[in-house]
Amino acid sequence: MLLSNFQIPSNFSLIVPGDKSVSHRSVLFASLAKGESLISGFLEAEDPLNTMRSFSKLGVEFSKLGNGQYKVKSPGKLGLISPAVELDFGNGGTGIRLSAGLLSGLQGVDTQLTGDASLRKRPMKRIIDPLALMGADIQSIPGDGKAPLKISGKKLSSISYKSPIASAQVKSCLMLAAIASDVELEYEEDELSRDHTENMFRFLGGSIKHLSKTHFKIKPPFSFVGAKFQVPGDISSAAFFIVFGLLAKSGSILIQNVGLNPARTGVITVLRNMGGRIEVENERSECGEIMGDLRVYPSQLKKVEITSDLIPSIIDEIPILTIAGLFSENGFEIKNSEDLRAKESDRIHAMVFNLQKLGVIVDETKDGYAFNEINKINSALIESFHDHRIAMSFLILKTLLENEIKIDDDSWIDTSFPEFKEIIGRLKG
């Protein structure tokens, strides 16, 4: 079985960047809310910054105060204006999909949304189709269901929608469309996806009627005023160092101020099921979100079944969970994860391709992959596929094994975790 000899420095602690999902939403809700807001703990990485830059072109003022704090002045949803230029969301799938919903419901606001080459390859029909059912005027410019998207904001219709996939992006897109247009939304999904939008909606005074755990209604009026938004540390970013701490030979890692939203803690559930020792300290609630500190100890991991109900809450953590699987007794298997093919890269293909380069025998399926217990990893040049989580996952593996694994391009890490390589440097001393 594969083992690491890496020893964590004594009393090692770190603070991960602000939650990417909550950072995007803080910009969107602060833009909808009339008056002055304060955002603290904002993730100053390219994806959420691109969302902020886009809404600054709609008439919202953002003033940087330092240390992830921003003062926001918004005229409210009725005062937002058509931008003079197209809105560029860079590599941010969350930014463009959620913004498309909000902008579709803004009457008289015309926009065109685009992004980088990677973003323009990602599917947008999952939001275009339900928005069209609400009466939205939204078009894929290439005509293939992908960005750029042309939107003419208008008064939308109320809708009752059952999503074919459990997706926080789809759910949030439709919620923001309904909020922007002051119409009713009834939404249902098979599994509970991340609920950051619901939490922020409630924090601002919105009321949600739950018909079941995965089925709810919201009704207008939706009149929000400025508020203080606190962004917790991103558990998806913390996951890389949770796995690192579990796989190291000795020592422990303390990760502070991590968001512990129950819809996001599937990665902790899976790693504990695998035998990982992860302790929560100083648990508290901020801005509708649970947060706390995580202390992680080296542990012997084993293969477990990852059930389908956990997939929505770990979809972004599957690449780093795969690295944990390389060190696990009896190997690793992931299934029911076809949505991985629609992320920043086709992450099923990206992980399988790179694992094979490392000498791992992998069985790929339509919705996942599997491999048996691993005893050896070869050195290789890893292809990041322009995907920050692929690059970070294999950089964690390289550091644990202290071998000659190389990453073709790790600049994509800055889209979500600008301090990542600096923390790796501190671990290595």
- The pLDDT, as a whole number, for residue 420 is 95
3-state DSSP helix/strand/coil percent for the chain, to nearest 5?
35, 25, 40
* Of 94, 53, 416, 30, the residue nearest 233 (C-alpha): 416
**pLDDT tops 80 at residue 342:** no
Task: Write down the pLDDT at residue 312.
Answer: 84
Max Cα-Cα span within the chain: 61
- Do 12-17+233-428 and 20-217 agree at the fold level? yes
Q: Which range (146-150, 311-315, 346-350) has the least confidence?
A: 311-315
pLDDT for the residue 158:
98
Residue with tokens 């929505």: 312
Q: From CA 390, how far away is CA 384, in angstroms rounded?
A: 6
pLDDT reported for residue 191: 85
The 10s digit of each residue's pLDDT in 79-122 is 999 999 999 999 999 999 999 999 999 999 999 999 999 899 99
pLDDT for 231 equals 95
Mean pLDDT for the stretch of residues 213-229: 96
Looking at residue 45, its pLDDT comes to 86
What pLDDT is recorded for position 390? 96
pLDDT of residue 136: 98
3-class DSSP assignment, residue 53: helix
- The string of pLDDT tens digits covering residues 261-300 is 988 899 999 999 999 999 999 999 888 899 999 999 999 9
Structural domain boundaries in the chain: 12-17+233-428, 20-217
Q: What is the pLDDT of residue 192?
A: 84
- 135 is written with which tokens? 């009466």
Quick count: other Cβ atoms within 10 Å of Cβ 68? 16
pLDDT at position 67 is 87
Token reading at 424: 């790796």
Tell me, what's the pLDDT at 184?
98
Is the domain spanning 20-217 CATH 3.65.10.10? The answer is yes
Q: Is the pLDDT of residue 415 over 80?
A: no
Q: What is the mean pLDDT of residues 218-245?
A: 96
Domain spanning 12-17+233-428 has what CATH number? 3.65.10.10
| Residue 316 a catalytic site member | yes
Q: For residue 109, which of 46, 31, 172, 50 has the smallest C-alpha distance?
A: 31
> One of 47, 316, 339, 410 is an active-site residue; which one?
316
Task: Tell me what pLDDT residue 341 has.
Answer: 87
What backbone phi and psi angles, to 5 degrees, belong to 269? Answer: -60, -50
Question: Using 50, 70 and 90 to split pLDDT, how confident is the model at 70?
Answer: very high
